[in-house]
Amino acid sequence: MRIAVGMSGGVDSSVTALLLKEQGHEVIGVTLKFHSVEACEIEGTHHICCSPEDVRDAVRVSQRIGIPHLTIDWERVFRERVIRYFVDEHRRGRTPNPCAVCNREVKTGFLARYLKEVADIDFLATGHYARIEDLEGVGRVVRRGVDGRRDQSYFLSLVRREDLQLLLFPLGNYTKEEVRRIAEERGLEVARKKDSQEVCFLMGKSPGEYLEGVLGRREGIIKHVSGKVLGRHGGFYRFTIGQRRGLGISWKRPLYVVDIDPKTNTVVVGEEEYLYNDALVVRDINFHVPMDMWGGEVLAQIRYRSEPVPVESVRKTSDGYTVKFRKEVRGITPGQVIAFYRGDLLLGGGVIEAPAYGG
């Protein structure tokens, strides 16, 4: 088979290409260049993804294992489809997940369709720690990777169902330690390269610092849910639901961000009990498995590192879908991704619109 491998210059994608080459496939390394800034130029940052340094590493690995390599400069595409989304969502007082959107709009789903058209590939393989397989009556689906600490299926929940037909995840049955050991045994110089950290385009800045450079400083008030003004802030985009640190205010009990109102430039804080709710609204769900085939116990994950929680119901409404949980969950955050699972099977996902009171 003719398989393109999305090579980021890191150990995971490098071993992906190596394994497929050893299996006898025609492998083409493809690296997307999103930035013109070198990681080493950014003070205090060890590594950013998709930089010129990463491109060079991907080229060296491709030469080492004997496959052709192609670099595609998609800095403009990345800026328009991911960075603009990130900024616009924060402007609305939301906390987006740019990595999940990038997987759909740029480096996984969209790239697979692009390479199918221009290079006639059979599949695009990536270094995601997830598994893909055929499910009777459905087609290709995603399952969690066997390495629970590294499982990245959550970030694939927005990838379009039709794009799954073009995707391979060869590392889904490996642990990170096994992948690094394979790289060392084969003499790949990226075997101990550090993983990319944080959101790549922030270039070592915090989200708040980055957004202030784009949106400017916007001072406003911090008020308690009771209405009492407790302090001021330098920009509502510096805050996210559930945040406790960095508020710069004092109160008789610990306070957390419970709401963000960009129209009035107000950050609302309250005690921890205000963070809990048992329902939320999703404007649209990207179904990997049709909802009438979900069956069994459905779990939902509302952040990458959050514990999946049992779902009582998913109800279609005029505003999208209302998701009701069997217990209250902490920190429902507009803009974040909700991923649905049955066991280790990824059923689909969507972007959280808001908590649903009385849902």
Active site residue 102: yes
The catalytic residue among 49, 50, 99, 102 is 102
What does DSSP assign to residue 311?
E
CB distance 113 to 169 below 8 Å: no
What does DSSP assign to residue 194?
P
Residue 226 burial by Cβ neighbours in a 10 Å radius (0-12, 13-18, 19+): exposed
Q: What is 201-229 written as a DSSP string? A: GGTT--HHHHHHHHH----EEEEETTS-E
Can you read off the two tokens belonging to residue 145?
Answer: 């990777």
Quote the CA–CA distance of 68 and 26 in Å, as a whole number: 10
Q: What is the dihedral of CA 262, 263, 265, 269, to 10 degrees?
A: -70
CB proximity list for 271: less than 8 A, separation 6 or greater: 253, 254, 255, 256
Quote the CA–CA distance of 15 and 184 in Å, as a whole number: 10
Quote the CA–CA distance of 266 and 219 in Å, as a whole number: 9
Angle between helices 84-91 and 207-215 (to 10 degrees): 90
CB proximity list for 102: less than 8 A, separation 6 or greater: 78, 81, 82, 108
The catalytic residue among 49, 50, 99, 200 is 200
Q: 358 to each of 279, 309, 339, how far by Cα in Å?
A: 8, 18, 22
User: 150-153 long-range CB contacts below 8 Å, 24 or more apart?
Assistant: 150/175, 150/176, 152/128, 153/128, 153/339, 153/341, 153/346
Active site residue 50: no
> Whose CA is closest to 61, among 1, 13, 114?
13
CB proximity list for 250: less than 8 A, separation 6 or greater: 230
> Whose CA is closest to 327, among 303, 346, 344, 308?
308
Catalytic residues: 102, 200
